[in-house]
Amino acid sequence: MAINWFPGHMVAAQKKAADALAEADVVVEVLDARSPAASVNPMINAMRVARQRPALKVLNKIDLADPAVTEAWLAWFNAQQGVRAIGLSCKQAGESAKVLPAARALAPHREGPLKRLRVMVMGVPNVGKSTLVNALLNRRVAAVGDEPAVTKAQKRYELTDGTWLIDTPGLMWPKIALPSDGLLLAANHLVGVNAYIDEEVATALAEILRLRYPQALGGRYGIDAGEVDAPGVLEAVAQRRGLRAKGGAVDYEKASVVLLNDYRSGALGRITLETPASREGALAALAAAGAGAGADG
């Protein structure tokens, strides 16, 4: 099942963002450090490239991500033209102080009272944009909630140093090309809950954990990852938590919710669901599938 989520209000929000980008100097795109490439919105990239605007990629929630993999992602993004990447946790005091100096370095021509820096904060829903905006302003002005699409209107703020900050609603794109991206976005609670089935997403998550973070499954649930497949992980979680459906059968649905919540909260430890290598592999597979389809046609 392909996961796509593009609520109607995002059509208008996308147009307003494209118009506002003409007045911005730097795009600060907030990403989820646990799935950095999957949380890059290709429409945002296209808009900023068309306007020739540099991007500061902020890998948020690094406190929940695998530190070694985060370093690999920072190097991966920093190798891209017109891009600089930094990692932080918007919820931790003082972390947001890294953002404006990094953004200013991308637009050295914008300084002084007549050339104030104009920063546009963008990203997919629920990735931490509003938390970052509140931290930069040092006051709560943007609504924050643990669900996608809380912010629905574009707003502008003036910081104490004169910088203009443009806060935009979370933007998705109409069709997610990589099915695995949809699963990663759902696992990180970056799309609406009506767009996916918990058991499907949890099964994909279980497979990643089984292969790359077996110690997390062992420490939390007592599972020997080498002896089970992904559905077996969910069955073991259900048994560990005593989750039974009517008739005593394993309740895979409740087990899926437990696994997803434990992952999202950090109870399983610091985990990153994709690496630069896995990303390149997924893109290569997508390209090969497209080439095969073209040949068949």
Is there a contact between 234 and 203 (Cβ–Cβ < 8 Å)?
yes
User: What pLDDT score was predicted for residue 112?
Assistant: 65
Provide the token pair at 45. 């990239």
Query: For residue 57, what are the β-bridge partners?
Result: 29, 85
Shared-domain flag, residues 75 and 148: yes
In the chain, what percentage of residues exceed pLDDT 90?
A: 71
Assess if residue 4 is contained within a domain: no
List, in sequence order, every residue forming a beta bridge with 244; answer none if it has no partner. Answer: 250
Is residue 297 over pLDDT 80?
no
pLDDT band at 122 (very low <50, low <70, confident <90, very high): very high
Average pLDDT value over all residues in the chain: 90
User: Residue 235 belongs to a domain with what CATH number?
Assistant: 1.10.1580.10
CATH of the domain at 146: 3.40.50.300
Residue 14 predicted with pLDDT over 90:
no
Enclosing domain of residue 109: 9-167
Same domain, yes or no, for 142 and 31?
Answer: yes
pLDDT at 149: 47
- Global confidence as pTM: 0.90
Point out the domain boundary residue: 167, 188, 220.
Answer: 167
Q: 296 lies in a domain?
A: no
Is residue 295 assigned to a domain? no
pLDDT score of 229 more than 90? yes
**Buried b / exposed e along 120-156 (16+ C-beta atoms within 10 A):** bbbbbbbbbbbbbbbbbbeeeebebeeebbbbeebee
Q: Which residues contact 37 (CB under 8 A, 6 or more apart)?
A: 73, 76, 274, 276, 279
Cβ within 8 Å of residue 171, ≥6 positions away? 10, 13, 14, 17, 41, 43, 44, 122, 123, 124, 125
Question: Is the same domain home to 183 and 212?
Answer: yes
**What domain count does the chain have?**
2
pLDDT score at 219: 96
Over range 190-219, report the average pLDDT. Answer: 96
Q: What percentage of the chain has pLDDT greater than the value 70? A: 92
